Chains A and B, each alone.
Chain A
Amino acid sequence: MRSSISPSTRVTSYLLAAAVVAASLLSGCMMMAKAPSDLDYSRTRTSRSHRYVATIRPDGDSIPKGKLQRWTLHLETTSGVPVDSATIAVDGGMPQHGHGLPTKPRVTRALGHGDHLVEGMKFNMGGWWVVKFRVASAQGADSVVFNLSL
Chain B
Amino acid sequence: MRAQRVLFELGTCVALAMVPLGAALTGRAEQRRAERWSADERATLRSLSLASLEPLAPDPSNRYGDDPRAAALGEQLFFDTKLSGNGKVSCATCHVPDREFQDGTPLAHGVGTTARRTMPIAGTAHGAWFFWDGRTDSQWAQALGPLESAVEHGGTRTQYAHVVDAHYRAAYEAVFGPLPELDDLPAQAGPVADSAWRAAWVALPAARQGDVSRVYANLGKAIAAYERRLQFAPTRFDRYVDAELAGRPHDSTSTLTADEVSGLKLFVGKASCVNCHNGPRMTDDHFHNTAVPVSPLVAAVDSGRTVGVRQAVAGEFACTSRYSDATSEDDCAELRFATTEGEELVRAYKTPSLRGVADRAPYMHAGQLATLGDVIAHYDRAPESPMGHSELKPLELTEKERRQIEAFLRTLR
Contacts and interface: CB of A to CB of B under 8 A. Distances in A.
B396 A119 contact: no
Nearest to A125: B275
A66 B285 CA distance: 8
A56 to B, nearest CB: 17
Interface in A35-90: 65-66, 68
Interface in B262-305: 269-272, 274-276, 278-279, 284-286
B342 interface: yes
A120 B337 contact: yes
A99 to B, nearest CB: 6
A102 B339 contact: yes
A104 interface: yes
B254 interface: no
A122 B336 CA distance: 13
B334 A68 contact: yes
Given A28-B270, A32-B270, A120 B275 contact: no
B338 interface: yes
Contacts of B44: 126
A104 B270 contact: no
Nearest to B127: A66
Interface string B376-412: 0000000000000001010110000000000000000
B336 A120 contact: yes
B339 A126 contact: no
B336 A99 contact: no
B270 A31 contact: yes
A31 B395 contact: yes
B272 A68 contact: no
Given A99-B344, A104-B337, A104-B340, A66 B391 contact: no
Interface string B39-69: 0000010010000000000000000000000
Contacts of B270: 27-28, 31-32
B333 interface: yes
A98 B385 CA distance: 15
A97 B269 CA distance: 15
A114 interface: no
B278 A126 contact: yes
A126 B336 CA distance: 24
A103 interface: yes
A33 to B, nearest CB: 8
Nearest to B126: A66
Contacts of B286: 102, 124
B269 A28 contact: yes
A66 B279 contact: yes
B338 A104 contact: yes
Contact of A124 (B272, B285, B396): B285
Contacts of A124: 276, 278, 284-286
A120 B340 contact: no
Interface in B80-114: none
A132 interface: no
A97 B275 contact: yes
25 contacts: A27-B396, A31-B272, A32-B269, A32-B272, A65-B47, A66-B279, A66-B285, A68-B333, A68-B334, A98-B391, A100-B339, A100-B342, A100-B344, A101-B339, A102-B284, A102-B339, A103-B339, A104-B337, A105-B337, A120-B333, A120-B336, A124-B276, A124-B285, A126-B44, A126-B278
Interface of A: 27-28, 31-32, 65-66, 68, 97-106, 119-120, 122, 124-127
